[in-house]
A and B are shown apart, each in its own frame.
Chain A
Amino acid sequence: GAVVSQHPSRVICKSGTSVKIECRSLDFQATTMFWYRQFPKQSLMLMATSNEGSKATYEQGVEKDKFLINHASLTLSTLTVTSAHPEDSSFYICSARSGQGFTDTQYFGPGTRLTVL
C-alpha cells in the first residue's frame, strides 16, 4: 500500500511555456501533499505544502505565482510551473501524507524530470 504516482515522469518544454505535473495517492487519501525540488547532486528542498481544499503554504524563496499548486481532492495535487525558464529545470517530487495510527508517514512519488530548453 501507500503508493504515490506522478505524471508525467519526464517533460521537455520550450522556455516561456507552462507545465503541469500531477501527483496522485493511489490507495489512500492524503489530506496533505508536499512538493519538493531537487537539483543535480543536491538534496531535496521543500517547495510547498498543500492541504486539500485550501491554499498551499510556500517555503521562503519559492514564488507562489510561478509554482501554482492545486489540491482539489484527497487523492490529487497538481503543480504548474508557469512561464518556465531553463533555471526551472529540475527533478520535481511530490509526497503524500498518510495518517494511520499514532504516527503518519510521508510517501513519495517517483518524480518528474523537467527540462526547459
Chain B
Amino acid sequence: DAKTTQPPSMDCAEGRAANLPCNHSTISGNEYVYWYRQIHSQGPQYIIHGLKNNETNEMASLIITEDRKSSTLILPHATLRDTAVYYCIVRVARGGGSNYKLTFGKGTLLTVNP
C-alpha cells in the first residue's frame, strides 16, 4: 500500500503557483519523499526528491515540514502543460527490498486552467 495521502484533484489558474500537498505521517527516518508526474498516456516524469531540507530545481520546489510528516510540491508558475497526475512517494534512497520500490498511489490530478 502507498504510504502517502494526496487529494484526488486540484485546479490551478495558468500563471499562478500550484501547491500540491502530501501527507506521509508514517515516514521512516531513512525514507525520502519523491515526486513524479504523469501526463496522459506517457510514462511518469521525475520531478524532485528530498529528505528533510527544502529542495528546488528547474521544475519545482519541495517543502518538507520539520517533523517530515507532510510535504508540498510547488510549481511556481503553472502552465497548461503542467496538467497531469502528480504522485508523492516515500522510499528509501538506496538498496533493495520492498522499501526501495516505488509504490504508486492514485496521486493528484492537477488541472491547470487558462
Contact = CB atoms under 8 A, between A and B. Distances in A.
Interface residues of B, number: 21
A57 B49 CA distance: 26
A107 interface: yes
Contact of B93 (A46, A103, A110): A103
Contact of B102 (A6, A91, A102, A106): A106
A110 B43 contact: yes
Interface string B75-90: 0000000000001000
B106 interface: yes
A72 interface: no
Interface in B24-82: 32, 34, 36, 38, 41-46, 49
B107 A111 contact: no
B61 to A, nearest CB: 17
Contacts, number: 51
A99 interface: yes
Grouping DSSP codes into helix (H, G, I), strand (E, B) and loop, the A interface class, with mixed when no group exceeds half, is: strand
A105 interface: yes
Interface in A1-44: 2, 4, 6, 34, 43-44
B43 A109 contact: yes
Contacts of A56: none
Grouping DSSP codes into helix (H, G, I), strand (E, B) and loop, the B interface class, with mixed when no group exceeds half, is: loop
Given A43-B107, A46-B101, A103-B32, A111 B49 contact: no
A103 B94 contact: yes
Interface residues of A, number: 24
Nearest to B91: A106
Contact of B41 (A46, A105, A111): A111
Contacts of A114: none
B93 to A, nearest CB: 4
A108 interface: yes
B29 to A, nearest CB: 14
Interface of B: 32, 34, 36, 38, 41-46, 49, 87, 93-94, 101-107
